[in-house]
Structure 1
Amino acid sequence: MKGIECIELRKFITEYKQKNEKNEFKPVAVGKYGIRTRESIYSKELAKDYSKNKIIFKNTLTVGMGSRQIDIGILTDDVIYSVSPAYHTYKISGINADYLRYCLMCRNEDMFKRFVKRGSRQGKSIDLKRWLEYEIPVYDVCNQEKIVLKLNKVTNVISMRKQQLQKLDELIQARFVEMFGDPIINPFNWEKKRFDSICENLDSRRKPISSGDRVEGIYPYYGASGIVDYVEDYIFDEDILLVSEDGANLLMRSTPIAFSVSGKVWVNNHAHVVKFDEMSLQKYVEIYFSLIDISENITGSAQPKLNQAKLNAMMIPIPEKALLEQYCEFLKQIYKSKLVIKNLLQIYKHQIQM
């Protein structure tokens, strides 16, 4: 395409600060996946007064600081929401808003490396002055629309593939209940055993590293809900199960609270680390945790916590070994299917690069 020009972001966005003073517009969250309703993330309402929030509306850009990316949300629907006052809000003009969204989305990693500085949330903040000088490729209006139409089609395919992954996760849980019964009712009367009798706790080997002291590397650095960062060294090199120790997700369950990890990794003190003799038992327990309510084992209100004593004392119904191995084989086939879909997702996401 012809007629491309590299232009600074400041030419297309102007910051504004309009408050939700009458508390009339419902709040949304802005993160890795753009703008999302809070009920799609959290299982309960966190507050009732959002009068200090900022208002966002059609053709506005919202920017915040994520753990590993710049949180960007562009609203193109003719609706009005409110966002946390911690976000920066901008009006968009002189450029197709969807085109701008794709531009920023595919350059997020580059912008994160260039403009993130040590500061506020999770030890990082955005150098907004320099970020506004960031140059993006800009085509004429007609070509912007053509690019958006093409990328919308790719985005729709990506959405369908993600739905396939979700259905496979649902199949994993459905097969669990079919083979072992409802984990709460335990209709097959499987023998119950204390959690600490079926695995070895490795919490003593965990080592937290503050964000300012981490040295970037190739090894995943895990926290309560998954990978937080990548560091230059590792402390585990084996098959382990991580169980969230603290954080709101223990109650809200927006991400798994138990997840298997293999290979060279570093784990901080926000996730319990346990090791099983048999992978089949580890996978069973991982899925078991996704199907039960552990709220009665959680302590703390401001900061929910599943301490080691509470975790160790949990009684887990344990099916016979042959069934566990059969289920583990089923999981292997499902994981193969998920890997194929994830590889396709990477191909599609690569097509979005501009």
Structure 2
Amino acid sequence: MSFEEWTVCKLGDIVDVSQGLAINSKSKYLLQNTGLPLLRITDLFNNVQIQFINPKKVPKQFIANEDELIYTRTGQVGYVFKGRTGVVHNNCFKVFPKSDNLDKNFLYWFLYQKSIREYANLIASGSVQKDLTHSAFKSIEISVPPLPTQHRIVEILSSLDNKIELNRQTNATLEAIAQAIFKEWFVNFNFPGATGEMIESELGMIPKGWRVGKLEEIITNYDRKRVPLSSRERENRKGIFPYFGAASILDYVDDYIFDGIYLLMGEDGTVITENGKPVLQYVSGKFWVNNHTHVLQGRSPFSTEYVLLQLKNTNVKHIVTGAVQPKINQGNMNELPVIIPDEFPLLSFQEIINPIFNNILDTEQETSILTKIRDDLLPKFMNGEINISN
């Protein structure tokens, strides 16, 4: 099947949209402690449920089911989500095909493309905060193959995505196991050899012989080695090495500046989670980093994995500065108080969690490869460069 058999049209010709619910003085009475989760952009990204809406009082047009697509239109423009149930917030809208000639999941993968997201931001209005109108969204051009080809494209991309999601769930389980052991030993102080003798400290009661120190005592900081690349520079330097930002991989470039196991902690922009913990990325291999994330390793006898688990138990909301652009500067980060245990439980703990994190790294490497394959195939499928009709 040739590309000539694809139909080129505007999104508005084949999809409809439904605006989300505005929460204001007239509608805030809908908020309650239980009910349908309110799906704001931050909730979609973090996959959390913070606010809830009375399902009996909200109009059905604002409710999204798992099989519906949600598209972000304000601030963080151009991200598409599926598999979520709740009340769509006004900073998003639902997108759905007008007819059965468009596979909803094909539409999802079309909107998922980085190039479409970048174009959506280009046509969005607003200099301080981007806003994508319905008409602007509907003006985006799309090439639509016959249904059998749509189904085949969806089948291939979804199989890759399902494996990626399974890997993420596996790693989440493994990390939860490591976190449970960490809390038992270094929060509840039920570690091998514990005598039960405790002393007072600024962080509460701690085992005798332990002390309270600063984060800078247990880390090595490599921020000085960071080299930011502009989007134009990255466009001219496409490659295989991940380029990390504050919260995720932003791109792939042709070289690397780090090689090994590191912990990235968000410095600018996306720096804390909903519960006040720092945004962290546990990474390995060869990679590049911009200047919006701190680059850390554990300082012996503290492992990088210990630092990861320690920071996941540390509230950093009080050290975040900047009203418009949240920031955790190096000085404030270094001053975070941490418990400094004896060396023996540290080494024993590392022996236990080493196999867990080795499995995590192996799975993450596989996930990185699968993600790169999926993201490389996606635009080629969508522009007909790869013929999969047979």
TM-score by length of 2: 0.62
Q: Which amino acid in the other structure matches residue 200 of structure 1?
A: T
Equivalent pair of 1:42/1:254 in contact (CA under 8 Å): no
Task: Check the 8 A contact 1:237/1:264 in 2, yes or no.
Answer: yes
**Which structure 2 residues correspond to residues 272-287 of structure 1 after superposition, within 5 A?**
272-278=294-300, 280-287=302-309
Aligned to 1:324: 346
Cα distance in 2 for partners of 1:154, 1:238 equals 26
CA distance 1:6–1:30, change in 2 (3 Å): farther
Partner of 1:187: 206
Secondary structure of the 2:288 match is strand
* Inter-CA distance 133–148: structure 2 relative to 1 (3 Å threshold): closer
Distance in 2 (alpha carbons) for counterparts of 1:329 and 1:277: 16
Q: Secondary structure at the match of 2:244?
A: strand
Q: Deviations over 1:13-64 (max 9, x none)?
A: 1356687596469742469xxxx6689447679xxxxxxxx95667864434
Provide the alpha-carbon RMSD of the alignment: 5.1
Cα 1:214–1:153 shift into 2, 3 Å? closer
Contact 1:68–1:229 (8 Å) recurs in 2: no
- The residue that corresponds to 2:311 in the other structure is 289
> Structure 1 303/27 Cα, relative in aligned 2: closer, same or farther at 3 Å?
same
**Cα deviation, residue 66, structure 1:** 11
Query: 1:213-262 deviations in whole A, cap 9, x for unaligned?
Result: 43343322222223222233333334433222233542525986333433
- TM-score normalised to the size of structure 1? 0.67
Q: Partners in 1 of 2:343 and 2:252 — Cα distance?
A: 36
Kept in 2: contact 1:30–1:62 (CA 8 A)? no
Query: Is residue 226 of structure 2 the alignment partner of residue 206 of structure 1?
Result: yes
Give 3-state SS (helix, strand or coil) of 1:214's partner.
helix
Give 1:221's aligned residue.
243
Indicate whether 1:28 and 2:39 are aligned.
yes
The alpha-carbon deviation at position 289 of structure 1 amounts to 0.2
Question: 2:100 matched to 1:95?
Answer: yes
Q: Does 1:170 align with 2:176?
A: yes
**Which is worse superposed, 21-30 or 200-209?**
21-30
Match for residue 259 of structure 1? 281
Q: Distance in 1 between matches of 2:294 and 2:369?
A: 31
1:51 maps to: none
Query: 1:248 and 1:339, CA in 2 relative to 1: closer, same or farther beyond 3 A?
Result: closer
1:71 and 2:71 correspond: no
- Identify which of 226, 234, 237 aligns with 2:256: 234
- How many Å separate the matches in 2 of 1:283 and 1:38? 25
Aligned to 1:112: 114
What CA distance in whole angstroms lies between the structure 1 residues aligned with 2:187 and 2:45?
Answer: 33
Q: Do the aligned residues in 2 keep the contact of 1:123 with 1:211 (CA within 8 Å)?
A: no
- CA distance 1:283–1:133, shift in 2 (3 Å): closer
Deviates more, 1:252-261 or 1:269-278: 252-261
Decide which moves more: 303-312 or 161-170: 161-170
Structure 1 unaligned segments of length 5 or more: list them.
46-53
Give the partner amino acid of 2:238. Answer: G
Contact 2:259/2:287 (<8 A) preserved: yes
Contact 2:265 2:280 in 1 (8 A): yes
Q: 2:217, 2:299 within 8 Å by CA — same for their partners in 1?
A: no
For 2:185, the aligned partner's letter is M
- What is the rounded CA distance, in whole Å, between the counterparts of 2:74 and 2:261 in structure 1? 29
- Take 1:242 and 1:157, find their aligned partners in 2: how far apart are those partners? 25
Q: 1:125 to 1:310 in 2, by over 3 A?
A: same
Percent identity (aligned): 23
Tell me, yes or no, if the aligned pair for 2:266 and 2:279 is still in contact at 8 Å. yes
Summarize the Cα distance change of 1:182–1:269 in structure 2 as closer, same or farther, 3 Å threshold: farther
**1:66-107: per-residue Cα shift (whole Å, max 9, x none)?**
999952245897x7x33445x56544221288x422x24455
- Kept after mapping to 2: 8 A contact 1:61/1:73: yes
Structure 2 contact 64–94 (Cα < 8 Å) conserved:
no
Number of equivalent positions? 329
Relative to structure 1, is the Cα distance of residues 170 and 14 closer, same or farther in structure 2, using a 3 angstrom cutoff? same
